[in-house]
Every structure is written in C-alpha cells, then in structure tokens.
Structure 1
Amino acid sequence: MAQLCEKCVKLLQDFVSLVKRMSSSLIQNIKEYLILISECSCLKQKTSEARQLYKPVLQPHEKEMAREFLQHIETGFEMSPFGKDSLEALRTLAFSENPGLQQSAALYYLHMSQHWSTHLPAEHLESYYALLQSSDMEVQQMSSLSLVNFLLEGNINKEQVVQMGLLEPILELLESGDSTVQCNSCACIMTLAVSESNREAIGSAGVIPLLALANSYDPRVQQNAVGAILNLTRSERIQQVLCREGALPVLILMLESPDSEVQYYSCAALSNVAANSQHHEAMLRVGDQFLLRTLISLLSSSVDKVSSQACVCLRNLATSVNIQADIIAMDLLPKLLSLLASSNSDVQQASIALLWILSQHPANQDALIHGKVLQNLGMLLLTHQTDPGIVGHTACIIKNLSLCKNIQGIIESPCVEGLLQAILSTEIQEESLHYVTCSLGELAKHEGATLHLLEWMNEPLIKCLVRLAGQREHTEPSFQAASIVRHMICHDKVMSLLKCHMEEVQRYLMNFLNHQEIRFQQLGISTLGKLLEDPEFSSAFSQSQLMEHLEQVRQQTEETQELLKMATSQKGS
C-alpha cells in the first residue's frame, strides 16, 4: 500500500483549512481534488504502462479523509472565505508546481466569483499572478473567467489589477491557442480599458493581438476583442496606434458582421476615431466610399443601438460640405425619416443630431426642405416638449432651414405650432428655450411666416413673450422674444393684446434702452417708435421715465455722431 509523502500530507492539511470555508455547492468537486492528489508520484504503484492508464483506487484512509472533508464543507462555510487561513492556503495551491492543486485554487476563485458579491481583498490578486501564468489550460480558463466575473461585478479595483502586475500575464493570454482563454482575456482587457489610466498602460502592447483576435472564427472571441478595441479608442494616443497598425480596415469590415454586438462595437469604435477629423481621410480611403455606404445601410438595422451608432458615426464624419453631399446623395433621407419616427429615444436623438449637422450648410438645405422631413420635425416638437435634446436640435434645424429663400414648406408644416407649444411649455429647459426663441425669431423676419404666426397669437402667447423679453438672466431668449413682438406689432391683433401688458412692456423697453449691447438699444428704440404710433400707448408712455430716457439716448446719439464727424474730418485732413 502506498503511503502519503510529507508534501501531500501538508497540502491535505492546508486544503482541509481551505475547504472549511467552501460552499456546499462544491461538495461534488471533492472527489476531483482527491483524485488530483492521488495522482502524485508518491501514491502511484509501480505498474506496467498499460495499468498506468487507470486512475488508482482510493485507499481506506483516503476515503476516511474524504468523509472529513465533507463534514468540514457542511459545517465550516459560515467562516469568512477570504480570511487569513484561506489566503495562505490559496497561495500555496496557486504557486504550486502541481497543476491539480492550481486547479483547486482556480476552481475556488471561480466559485467565489459566481456566488459572492463582496469585494475581493487586494492580497488575493497575488494568487492570480501565478494562476494566469500556469501551464495548465484549465487553470488559465478558470482563473481568467473568475477575474472577468470579479471585474464585471466591480468586486476588484480595475486600476489595482494593473498596479499589481496582472496586465502582463493577461496580455500574454491573448496569444493563447485556446479560444476560451482568448475570450476571457479579451473580456479582461475590455473591462480594464474602461479606466483611462489602464488604457494608457495597455497601450500598443494590446493593440496587435486584439486586432488579430478581431478576425477570430470564434464569435465570442471576436466580440470581446472588438469590444476591447472600442474601449481603447477612447484614448486619442491609442487611436493613433490603432490607425498605424491597420485597425481601420478591420473595424470597417466588422460593420458587415452577422453579429449585432460586433457591428455595434466596431461602429462605436469608428465613431470615436471619427470624432478626430484628422482620421477622416484614412477612414474614407478604405474602398470606394465603402464606409459611408455601409453606415447608411446600417441605419436600417433592426437593432436600435446599431442604427443609432451608425447615425453618430455619420455625424462625426460629416464635417465638410463634400462629405455631406456624398451622404445625402446615397439615399439617406428615407432611412433618416424612418429613424426620426422611431419609438426609441436614443435612435431619435442620434438621427436628429445627424440631420442638424446636415442642415447647417446652405448647399444641403434645399434638399432637406422636404415635406416629410418638416412633418416629422413638427411632430417631434409636439410630442417631445420635455426632451431638451430633441427640442433643441429640432429648433436649430428649423432655424437653419428658414434661411432658405423658400420657407413655405416650414409655414405649412406643424413646425411653427410645435415651436409655439414648446415656448409655452413650463417644463422647457433653458438651453432648449434659447434655440426655440432663436428659431421663431428667424421665422418672424419673413412676412409669410409672420402672417402664419398671427393665426396662433393669443393672450397666453403674448404674455409668455413679454415675460421672456423682460427677464434679464438669459439675454438671448429675451432679445429673440422682444424681436418676435417687434415684428408682430404691425398687426392690430397683436397691438391690442399687448395693451393688457403695458407696464411689463415699458419695463423691458427701459431695460433694452439701458443695455450695453447696441442691438438691444436699437430693438428697444424701434419697438418703442412703433408702439407710440398707437394713441393708447403714446398716452401711457408720454409722462413716463421711458420717454425721458429715450431723450437721453437721442442726445447721446447726436453727440456720438458729432464726435464721429470730427474724427472723420481730422482723418481726411
């Protein structure tokens, strides 16, 4: 009968201490531990080569030890699994040259990563250094998977993993011949790269193996590799490395992957790269406008986050008139209209942001003043008045399109009603209000639009415009609201409605006359001059401080003109 050597006795003693803290769900694995220990040379009979193919039968004293293990597992797990005794035992197992004992430690960590939500003490990361560098494939698989689990659950400090030297063995596992190990190590890099400092630490060392794995035939490996590249693209320095190492063709081809996650990751990575215009030439050089065509085709994706991210990437690329012209020429509008009508908020936000970029250049505006486009914009305003992103971008688009010579389409669409309803909303945010008033102010300059605005003009709207004109905190909405009033007071209906707010009108006009900006002074004088044509306003203002201040402004203007004449004459002489 074979006898246990001192080494195995010591390991068994350590393991008993370890198992005391293990979950009952690991009872089924005890036989595996015993078998691994029994495979030590001290327990193996000197048999023929044929008999070595069979596992040795457990001896009576080994069976007795197994019963003791079961008792410890059933009664001892209430103690802390991360205590000092466990740590020492795990170190012994992890740094052992015996793969079986390393598997025990790896399995323990894997179990803990799946069942515990507590923070893993930093001391336990030392064991990972040995486990990740193990020559045993199963140890690599289990330890890398447990590390991923801990990272995803936030049970390990990401920066601490790198600081303790685990990045190097993780990067080495990227070049493993086992797809499971590759998958797990890519997931580790993807999670670690969420941290800015970790991205810089990963640097170029991780780029080349990740690009190689992005072409893996294993969809799990490919997905995690592209996900890791995505997180690395958040660093401008690593963007340069990726482009230099040929990442752009790889990521662009990944857009056609049948896996929607790979499509999303690669599209998001390209969006990050496209945010830096210096990369645009290289990105568009791949194929004959292949990137633009592929992105536009992805707008029709059934996966919302893919179509949304395709919009973002196109928006980042659309920095020049030529690129925008190419995008519009590729039958973009029908797809964009479909996205504007999406029930997904992110898709709507992304599509309207792309439309906003395209509307900024006059060369595109005629193509965008399309009945269905304007119809969609108007409906977005009417149904999303509390969404600052949608309201703000939509108002900017309408303002840009109102610069066209033919704005009849805007007047006939729900856009005007949408803007007016937005300005009346009590929930509209400051930035959105700025864009809405600017858009209405631009429309009010056109006679046709003024007549259309007149149809909607009523007491609540006049009251709102006067209130906005009188507030001092936000100068642009104040100016634009007063500008709308100025363009509308030519009509008796508006003049009549304003008479209910004479005091408020007088106050904001006084503020305008005292304003440091000349445009406010000029608008105040112009509005006051028009109001004085009405007998009621003229009578109300005749004895007010407003008229006294207007006279002061007139005198100052005359003095300024005299000084200008003197300066001009001196210059001529």
Structure 2
Amino acid sequence: MASSLCENCSRLVKELAAHLRRICREFEQKIRDVFRELCQCTCFRVTPERSLLRRETQEFLRPLHEDESQLLSQEGLQTLTRLAASENTDLQMTAAMYYLHVSHHLKSRLPDDFMEPVMTLLLSPDLDVQKTVSLALVNLLVKNNESNRDAIIVDGIIPLLALAKSYDPRVQRNATWALLHLTHSDWSTRILCQAGGIPVLVLLLQSSDSEVQFCGCTALCNIAAIQEHHPKLLSIGGHYLLKSLLTLTSSSVQKNSAQACRCLQTLSKNGNYKEEYLKLTWCRMQILFVNFMCSSDPGAADGARLCAAPEGAPENPNRCVDRAGHDTPLCAVCTSTKPRLLGALLSPALSDDTLLHVTSCLRHLMTWDLLRCNLSATITAEQVLGLVKLSGQTHKPLLSYNCAAITSKLEMTEEIFALLRPHYSTVSQYLLVFLQKKDVKFQQLGIVTIFNLKKDGDFSSLLADSELEVQLDKVHAQTEETRRLLQMVQPLPPSPVNPPLSQTKH
C-alpha cells in the first residue's frame, strides 16, 4: 500500500518513532535502576531477619487478649527490646502501645527487666512514641504499687525529668504533660518530689512554650495543695519559686496568669511563710487585681477572684508599696483603667462569690493612699449608687460591709458629698442596721462613716433627732458601761492621778 505522505513527512515520522523508542528504553532502564536500589534498601528488602521480626511481632501482640501471665514472658521481653531499638517508628509505637496496655491491666509487680526498653522509647525521635510510653509510666505510678517504686523512679521519672529539660519545646511538652499527670495522685506526687521533680518544674515556668508553662504551673499547684511539700517548694534559694510565679502572672496567656495566681494563693495559706509571702507578692497581686477587674476578657473575673486574698493583706499597705517599689506601675494602671475599675462591680456577669472576693480586695486597696485618691477623683454617680445599693442589701452581710467600707474610705470632698446626698436616706438605713448588730466591726464601721459624713451639713441635719442618732447614743452608752466594767476587772495602772490603794489608806 502506497504511502500518502511525501518523502519529507515520512522521514520526520520515522525520526520521531526512533526518538520515542530511545526514550522508552531509557525510561525502562531508569525504572529498573530505581527498583533495584529500592530492593537493596532495608525498607523494602524482605530479609530473613525482617521476616522473623514480623512473625515475632505478630506472636508478641497475641497475648494482648490473653491472661496477665502471658504479658510478661521472656520471649515478649526480647521482642520488646528489639522493637524499641528498631529504626522503624511504627515498630517503636507497637512497643509503646504494648506498655500502655500492660499499664492498664497489670496487677502485679512489673519486672525490672521490662523497664530497660522504656528509656529507649523515651528517646525515640517520634513524639507520639514518647507520649504513649510516658502515659504508660504515669499509669504504672498512679496505681500505688509500692514494689514498682524504685524501678520507676530510676528508669521512669528520672528520664522524664531529663526530657523536660530538653531544648526542643515539643519534647518538653510531652515530658511535662506526663509529669503533670503524676501529680494527680498523692502517692506519685510524693515520689516525684523525692526524685527531684520540684526544681525541674520551677524551671519550666521560664519555658518559651506557653503549654509547657501551663503544665508545669498546674503540676506545682497540685503539689502545693499538699502542705508537706511546702518546705521543698519554698526552700529554693532567693525565693525563686515565688518570683517565677509572679513573673508568670504577667503572661499574656490568660490561663497561665490565672494558674500562677492560684498557685500563689495556695502557698499563701501556709502560716510559716505568710509574712515572707506578703512582702514579695502583695503589691504585685493587687496590680494584677486591678488589671483583671478592668479587662474585658470573660475569664478576668475569675482571675480577679484569685488575686483577692483579703485575709492576707498587710497592716500597712503603703509601707509595703514603698518597699516593693510598685507605686509607679500601680499609678499607671490606675490612670489607664480608673474609669472602669468600680464600674466592673456593676457587671451582672459577676457571681455573688466573685463579687464578694472582689469587694474584699478592693476594700483593702482603699487603704492604699494612691488608689484611694484616684478613685475618689473619678468615681461617678452611677458607681456611688451601686455601692450604696450593695451596702444596703442584707442577704450577704460581708458584701454589705465591704461596699460600705469602700464608701466610707472615699475622700470626703464637696464632690463626694454631692454624689452621696441623694442617697443619705438609704445610707442612714444601712448604718442603723450596722449599729444594731452585735458584731463590733459593723458598729465601728457605722461610727466611722457617721463621723465622716457629719462633715456635710445636710447629713448632720438629717441625723439630728433621728432613729440613727438614738441608736448611736445607745452604742455610746454601752461602750461606756463596758469600759467601766473593764476598769473594775483590771484597774488603771498607778499614776499621780490614780495612786495605789495601799497609799490611799495610809
């Protein structure tokens, strides 16, 4: 059959076909070379050793569904050792999962030999392998198995503490997560502290990773909940723990800041260290309280509650400010946030308990001259109304006391009197209730408030011949009677005016 192509086109087609055949031969050779190299690699080459390891792994996994005695066989240990030492992360994960299964089901002592592959798995480059075997160690410890104690401390916790000091944040995260889980049990917490875990956890507060900081701080919080560990926590030189926690309270991560406040609050309950704690932390906690109160973050109210520790306030906060050097930052905070500070008390989002904590702390802050001046100069009519209403409620007496105390500590200038005058009737009512109470602190607050308000002629006119004035006279009479009775029990000391009885007789 004759070709319909000209001579030139026929030549071009033949050259193209020859070129394609050459390319196909080269491509075929390239494929052969690639597969030859792949077959030589251990990843693809099926060697007798690899086939044996696969069969051993299958046999090794079979006891997972059998009785406990089969979990810890000598053959299983040999296979575990080989799997842990393998460069294949899937095989390492198989070993880690086996340990996790054992940690859930084992009721007897874990043989010491079975702890040896754990170190290898903890040093695996695969983070999932690390995390799985870490969880297995946690499970073994929280079971409170005394017989495993020494082995797990040496072969379990100490490697975890070493990993927690890694420069790789991902490795740190896994190790710290495991250490945190150890603090969920009193028994394992005690072991962790004995193994030297506290200094490591304190160092983790300085980590650049916020999750590591949170896990480390939460672990320290759990440890601080057991008072027997307080000496170890607070014996680190130079108040390092308290200073590290105070630094963490400034974190931009809300949960880290709140957790640091929670840990400081827990430590403040130790009477042996209370004075030391107050010197270092009180001023900073009050600055944090102001920041939390003026934050729009939904979790800020809880943070403010954690910063509020009214039972621990020093007698002279102004002296504490001078020593700590916090007057400048506090002034800056007050200047930028004072319009919202008392306004936060009017928020309907605050629960009664949170409101109680917040007002208790604010009451102590009002003894701070700097803050009292700022608030007195910027308080609004709406905020005064809110304080008066809370002072007059009766279902929470302490809340009423706190708000009345805040009001009484305002600087009684003409501007403050102008804000209070519309509410003098309500103020008189709750002051009458205070004077009628048997609790002396309520009576004293009522007397101080009346003394301050009498500087305003309008209040003095309202007080004259009122039920409040009658009750005030009763309290005065009771006080004088009490003083007379006390003098009968404990006579005045000798003086030129009151000579001893023996001298009088002669």
TM class by shorter chain equals 0.5 to 0.7
Give 1:268 deviation, angstroms.
0.6
1:352 aligned partner, one-letter code: C
1:464 has 2:386 as partner: yes
Cα distance, 1:364–1:472 mapped onto 2, change above 3 Å: same
1:393 has 2:306 as partner: yes
SS of residue matched to 1:427: coil
Indicate the residue corresponding to 1:224 in structure 2: 132
Conserved? CA contact 2:366–2:409, under 8 Å = yes
Cα distance, 1:564–1:249 mapped onto 2, change above 3 Å: same
Instruction: Determine the C-alpha separation between the residues in 2 that align with 1:385 and 1:560.
Output: 51
Give the alignment partner of residue 560 of structure 1, picking from 482, 493, 506.
482
Give the alignment partner of residue 499 of structure 1, picking from 411, 415, 421.
421
1:436 has 2:340 as partner: no
* Cα deviation 1:336-355 (Å, max 9, x = unaligned): 65773334x43333233345
Give 1:263 deviation, angstroms.
1.6
Cα distance, 1:495–1:564 mapped onto 2, change above 3 Å: same
Cα distance, 1:267–1:489 mapped onto 2, change above 3 Å: same
Indicate the residue corresponding to 2:327 in structure 1: 408
Instruction: Determine the C-alpha separation between the residues in 2 that align with 1:466 and 1:375.
Output: 25
1:484 has 2:406 as partner: yes
SS of residue matched to 1:485: helix
Instruction: Determine the C-alpha separation between the residues in 2 that align with 1:500 and 1:400.
Output: 33
Instruction: Determine the C-alpha separation between the residues in 1 that align with 2:482 and 2:310.
Output: 40
1:292 has 2:199 as partner: yes
1:282 has 2:157 as partner: no
Give 1:381 deviation, angstroms.
3.5
Indicate the residue corresponding to 2:58 in structure 1: 138
The equivalences for 1:196-235 within 5 A come to: 205-206=109-110, 212-217=116-121, 218=124, 219=126, 220-231=128-139
Cα distance, 1:409–1:420 mapped onto 2, change above 3 Å: farther
Conserved? CA contact 1:382–1:422, under 8 Å = yes
Give 1:566 deviation, angstroms.
3.6
Cα distance, 1:210–1:479 mapped onto 2, change above 3 Å: farther
1:455 has 2:359 as partner: no
Conserved? CA contact 1:532–1:538, under 8 Å = yes
Instruction: Determine the C-alpha separation between the residues in 1 that align with 2:429 and 2:420.
Output: 13
Give the alignment partner of residue 236 of structure 2, picking from 326, 342, 345.
326
Give 1:309 deviation, angstroms.
1.0
TM-score, length of structure 1 as denominator length = 0.57
Indicate the residue corresponding to 2:79 in structure 1: 177
Instruction: Determine the C-alpha separation between the residues in 2 that align with 1:535 and 1:458.
Output: 22
Give the alignment partner of residue 383 of structure 1, picking from 271, 275, 295.
295
Conserved? CA contact 1:186–1:225, under 8 Å = yes
Indicate the residue corresponding to 2:15 in structure 1: none
Instruction: Determine the C-alpha separation between the residues in 2 that align with 1:400 and 1:331.
Output: 20
Indicate the residue corresponding to 2:180 in structure 1: 268
Conserved? CA contact 1:230–1:266, under 8 Å = yes
Cα distance, 1:492–1:208 mapped onto 2, change above 3 Å: farther
2:236 aligned partner, one-letter code: D
TM-score, length of structure 2 as denominator length = 0.64
Instruction: Determine the C-alpha separation between the residues in 2 that align with 1:324 and 1:514.
Output: 46
**Consecutive unaligned residues in structure 1, runs of 5 or more:** 1-52, 54-134, 148-164, 193-200
SS of residue matched to 2:367: coil
Conserved? CA contact 1:223–1:261, under 8 Å = no
Cα distance, 1:334–1:529 mapped onto 2, change above 3 Å: closer
Give the alignment partner of residue 532 of structure 1, picking from 454, 468, 481.
454
Conserved? CA contact 2:157–2:192, under 8 Å = no
Give the alignment partner of residue 256 of structure 1, picking from 165, 180, 205.
165
Give 1:412 deviation, angstroms.
0.6
Conserved? CA contact 1:399–1:439, under 8 Å = no
Give 1:308 deviation, angstroms.
0.5
- For the aligned residues, what is the CA RMSD? 4.5
Conserved? CA contact 1:214–1:221, under 8 Å = no
Instruction: Determine the C-alpha separation between the residues in 1 that align with 2:444 and 2:261.
Output: 35
Cα distance, 1:443–1:380 mapped onto 2, change above 3 Å: closer
Instruction: Determine the C-alpha separation between the residues in 2 that align with 1:207 and 1:500.
Output: 80
Conserved? CA contact 1:395–1:436, under 8 Å = yes
Instruction: Determine the C-alpha separation between the residues in 2 that align with 1:452 and 1:423.
Output: 17
Instruction: Determine the C-alpha separation between the residues in 2 that align with 1:467 and 1:169.
Output: 72
Give the alignment partner of residue 309 of structure 1, picking from 210, 215, 229.
215
Conserved? CA contact 2:142–2:188, under 8 Å = no
* Cα deviation 1:313-370 (Å, max 9, x = unaligned): 3445666578447376669868965773334x43333233345567885546666689
Conserved? CA contact 1:292–1:314, under 8 Å = no
* Cα deviation 1:130-170 (Å, max 9, x = unaligned): xxxxx9742653784xx8xxxxxxxxxxxxxxxxx966655
Conserved? CA contact 1:271–1:313, under 8 Å = yes
Give 1:459 deviation, angstroms.
1.0
Name the count of aligned residue pairs: 401
Conserved? CA contact 1:469–1:478, under 8 Å = yes
Conserved? CA contact 1:399–1:442, under 8 Å = no
Conserved? CA contact 1:470–1:507, under 8 Å = yes
SS of residue matched to 1:383: coil
2:333 aligned partner, one-letter code: P
Conserved? CA contact 2:372–2:411, under 8 Å = no
Conserved? CA contact 2:289–2:303, under 8 Å = no
Cα distance, 1:536–1:233 mapped onto 2, change above 3 Å: farther
Give 1:279 deviation, angstroms.
5.9
1:352 has 2:261 as partner: yes
* Cα deviation 1:279-302 (Å, max 9, x = unaligned): 686244x7xxxx525642463243
Give 1:519 deviation, angstroms.
0.9
